Amino acid sequence: MNALIPVFVAVLLAEIGGPLAIFGRERRNSAALAMIVLIVVAVIGGWSIAALLIGPARLLMLGLALLFAGVAQFGRRAVVTGTPTILASAMTLYRSPAPFLAFAFAAWMTAPISAGTGAMIGVGVAAAVGSLGFTVRRGLCIGAGIILCIAGLFAVLSGLRLV
């Protein structure tokens, strides 16, 4: 249970204004189901690699995942023209930071099932917010990116044992 809330918050912040919100606005919720399958695969991978890494390496990987998700928020554009093709949908889901966050949290935490559940809930909420028609302001994406970058920076510094 201690992994559920941090993963939920991190994935929700990483997916604000992301591809799932755009697909949700177009009522293409199959993208959310595809993302959940990607998260399940990522959690299994994170769980399997957790035994190979020592504690600081796991924390460093988590910090890099948070940092990359935060940096990705600075480049968000909420531009949708027409209905995306299947290839465009797959490439957009490929750029999403949610599977890497789920992978890193599953490797860092001792409970990969709750990490995966939190990531799935975060993805579901991000898709639901998009399907309700809420528009995400640019400032909200930048604020989420700043929060993720600060959290990632502290985790990276802790993983390198500089803090």
Give residue limits of the domains in the chain: 4-54+76-137
What is residue 78's predicted lDDT score, i.e. its pLDDT?
A: 53
Would you say 28 and 116 are in contact if contact means Cβ atoms under 8 Å apart? no
At residue 32, the 3 state secondary structure works out as: helix
Provide the angle, in degrees to the nearest 10, between the axes of the packed helices 4-15 and 138-159.
130
Chain mean pLDDT for the chain: 83
pLDDT of 67: 95
**Residue 129 structure tokens:** 């917010």
Percent of the chain with pLDDT over 90: 45
Kindly report, residue by residue over 73-128, the tens digit of the pLDDT: 887 765 555 555 666 666 667 778 889 999 999 999 888 899 999 999 998 888 77
**What pTM value is reported for the model?**
0.86
